[in-house]
Structure 1
Amino acid sequence: MHFLKAATIAILSPLVSATCTPWSTPGTCTATSSSCDFYTCLESKSGCGPTGYELGYALPFCNAITAVSSNLSVNGQAWYSATKLCLQNALSVEASCETSCTNIYLNAFASHVPCYLDSGFCELSGADLKVFFQVVGVAGVTSNDGLALFGAVLQGCVTKYQNGQVNMGWTKWLVRTLNGEI
């Protein structure tokens, strides 16, 4: 449900002009592919707590994937670094301007599909996907938000394959399976 709201916000937010009131907490949250500290910094500003996006979702998954990232192929590690940086950069406004915990959550989820797709999720190997799904777990994929998110990523990968942007790996296998070729 949140993912669908987030998608709507992603479409409509460029149409809404807003003023930026800087957070009263000093310091700058810097996006980086080398750590997950961005989420701790954003939490120190927002105070969303353990159920907010930063501590309740982003930081645990970021730390968990970072812990096993050495198990990823070179391509998988490149995808993870690019995705981590993209997800953090997508929250740069929220890191600079006062906003609600709900907006942080919705804007963050709105960034997941484009960050995953643009960073090369569709080209990951089966072994990289296995590592990813071991971290995310069944509950992460089968929750309402997880299903919507993963469904949108799958749809994006199929579209990339059909447009000739992806011609390998699991996406090719998925399309061939859906077409009844396998």
Structure 2
Amino acid sequence: MLRYLILLFLFTPTFAQATCVPSDQSCDFYACKEREHACGKKGYWQDFGYPYCQKFLKDEARFSKDSQIWLQDVRYCLQVRVQEVADGTSCNSLHTQAMDSHVSCYVDTGFCDLTYMEQVKIYWYLKGALRSADTWREAYLLKQACANRFN
């Protein structure tokens, strides 16, 4: 009987694996996804998702009330959308697919409705990501999407 209890104890964690849960209040999702689908320091989870999520979360109080609401909404949206593309995706294509989901999350959660100064502030926080051509492309697409909403 003791042997069965020991075996049950040893194998229970594999049956009860927690899945990563998107949150509008936390960035733990990205660390969880890295544990589930490790892509390393240069992968999307560690090199983009988690650090920028943390940066905005840490300084959220520095933004206007409308931007704080937007930051929470977009945080959740980005996590949900990247989770949709992450399963079965190689680390190489994960970054591109995750970035492709950013513009729609930004627009869908109201980025275009924020004041110009708040939009500039958000871009300023993303300035470190501008070393990537993907980020420039996404910024251009976001600007176009916002402009098209008002035409």
Q: TM-score, normalised by structure 1?
A: 0.69
1:118 aligns with 2:112: no
Deviation of 1:42 (Å): 0.3
> Which structure has more helix as a fraction of its residues?
2
Helix, strand or coil for the counterpart of 1:91?
helix
Structure 2 residue matching 1:26: 3-state secondary structure: coil
1:151 aligns with 2:151: no
Q: 1:25 to 1:45 in 2, by over 3 A?
A: farther
Which residue of 80, 89, 93 corresponds with 1:103? 93
Q: Structure 1 residue 143: deviation in Å?
A: 3.2
Range with bigger deviation, 73-82 or 36-45: 73-82
Residue from 70, 82, 88 that aligns with 2:79:
88
Secondary structure class of the residue paired with 2:97: helix
Map 1:20-59 onto structure 2 (within 5 A): 26-59=17-50
Quick check: which has more Rg, 1 or 2?
2
Superposed counterparts of 1:120-135, under 5 Å: 120-135=110-125
Q: Which fold has the larger relative contact order, with Cα–Cα distance below 8 Å and residues 6 or more apart in sequence?
A: 1
Instruction: Report the RMSD for the aligned CA atoms in angstroms.
Output: 2.2
Identical pairs, percent: 29
User: Following the alignment from structure 1 to structure 2, what is the Cα–Cα distance between the partners of residues 69 and 113?
Assistant: 20
The number of aligned residues is: 138
TM-superposed deviation, 1:144: 1.0
Task: Measure the CA separation in 1 of the matches of 2:67 and 2:136.
Answer: 22
The secondary structure found in structure 1 opposite 2:138 is helix
Gaps of 5+ in 1: 1-23, 163-182
Cα offset for 1:68?
1.0
Q: Can you give the 5+ residue segments of structure 2 that lack an aligned partner in the other structure?
A: 1-14
> What's the CA shift for 1:74?
1.4
Sort the Cα spacing of 1:100 and 1:25 in 2 relative to 1 into closer, same or farther, 3 A: farther
Aligned pair in 2 of structure 1 residues 131, 36: CA closer, same or farther (>3 Å)? same
Q: In structure 2, what residue type is equivalent to 1:58?
A: G
Aligned to 1:11: none
Secondary structure at 1:79 match in 2: helix
Q: SS where residue 54 of structure 2 aligns?
A: helix
CA contact (8 A) 2:100 2:138 kept: no
TM-score, normalization by structure 2: 0.82
Q: Per the alignment, do residues 55 and 142 of structure 1 end up closer, same or farther by CA in structure 2, a change over 3 Å counting? A: closer
Q: Give 1:33's aligned amino acid.
A: D
Contact 1:25 1:44 in 2 (8 A): no
Give the C-alpha shift of residue 142 in structure 1. 5.8
Please give the per-residue CA displacement for 1:97-147, whole angstroms capped at 9, x wherever unaligned.
44311232222111101000111111112342243133212x423631121
